[in-house]
Chains A and B, each alone.
Chain A
Amino acid sequence: MTTSEKSVITDELLAFIGVESKPATYEIERHAVERFACAIGDPNPLYSNEISARSSSYGSLIAPPTFFRSLLPGDYPTTYPEPFAHILDGGSKYRYFEPVRVDDQISVVRKITDLFEKRGRMGTMLFKITEITYTNQHGQTVATQATTTITYGTGEKDSGVDSH
């Protein structure tokens, strides 16, 4: 980057690295799990057939591995100052420690662990790495998801660009 090109990563943005969001807590409802499994098209009986799930090594209905996408984290204490209008999902890295069972209560907290920028065909793009931690009612970390969110461009803001 030349000195004439100003970084979009301001001190205000940098101050967000490491700041934890408030937790958002969810009851894992049987029908929400079923609806998610149906939406992704996964017929695995562990997500919808109680008799089959009970006789498995899990002993109960569980949620699919990416069900966490439906459990949105809590808000940051102050609004994240997103500089761009458009959003792309770069990918996710999940780590699984315990199953999520129907009737569990899962708390979801996120924090930004890195911010960096790249220049491409769409101009400057801001890369944001967010680590989301999912904790059950027993205080066990059941999983983490590290997401890469890419934002770019100006104009009317995409729906959701401020909340991801």
Chain B
Amino acid sequence: MTVTNFGIEVPTFWFEDVAVGDELPELIKEPDTRQLVMYAGASQDFVAIHYDHKVAAEAGHPKVIIHGALKSAWLGELVTGWMGSAGRLLELDVSYRAIDFPDDTATCVGKVIDIRIEDGVGFVEIEIGLRNPAGQITTPGRALVSLPIKATFS
């Protein structure tokens, strides 16, 4: 998915603005059980461990757990919010290595690990992750985006 026609949009964030090692602004989420219920309804994911305390306790958890896919949504927001509407998200990979809980602050972080131009398209690869209050990355991942190249924009 590459953009050749920006319509009436004038991009404000360019491929040239990005360097390897750049860190994306952190996205802080403060989830509560209400949000889990909203997400269950919006996504049609009614696996009970996300809203039924008894089911969560039987699985050995102190409380209900956050949907992995909700964590993916936050990591998607981290990247799309950063790249702006002239960028395009091409790939999003997320792996749920450890469980996260409501009422814990979830911090979404990202760092540019590669930039390259291929066939006139500016690609940026980003290492992403969700960090729990203990400082552990529970949900690592990566994203690939394309950004407009200022030098070729007229």
Contacts and interface: CB of A to CB of B under 8 A. Distances in A.
A7 interface: no
A36 B39 CA distance: 7
B72 A57 contact: no
A92 B90 contact: no
A41 B27 CA distance: 11
Nearest to A40: B73
A122 B154 CA distance: 59
A158 interface: yes
Secondary structure class of chain B's binding surface, majority of residues = mixed
A64 interface: yes
B69 A66 contact: yes
B59 to A, nearest CB: 7
Given A69-B69, A91-B96, A94-B93, A44 B80 contact: yes
Contacts of A35: 41-42
A92 B72 contact: yes
B89 interface: yes
Interface in B59-86: 59, 67-70, 72-74, 76-77, 80-81, 85-86
Contact of A92 (B1, B35, B47, B94): B94
Interface string A22-36: 000000000010011
How many residues of B sit at the interface, in one of the four size bands?
A: 35 or more
A57 B39 contact: no
A86 B55 CA distance: 11
Interface in A64-87: 64-66, 69-70, 72, 86-87
Given A39-B35, A91-B95, A96 B1 contact: yes
A92 B96 CA distance: 9
A40 B7 contact: no
A90 B49 contact: no
Nearest to B55: A158
A69 B81 contact: no
Interface string A41-71: 1101010000000011111000011100110
Interface of B: 1, 3, 5-9, 11, 29, 35, 38-39, 41-49, 55, 59, 67-70, 72-74, 76-77, 80-81, 85-86, 88-96, 141
Interface of A: 32, 35-36, 38-42, 44, 46, 55-59, 64-66, 69-70, 72, 86-99, 148, 158-160
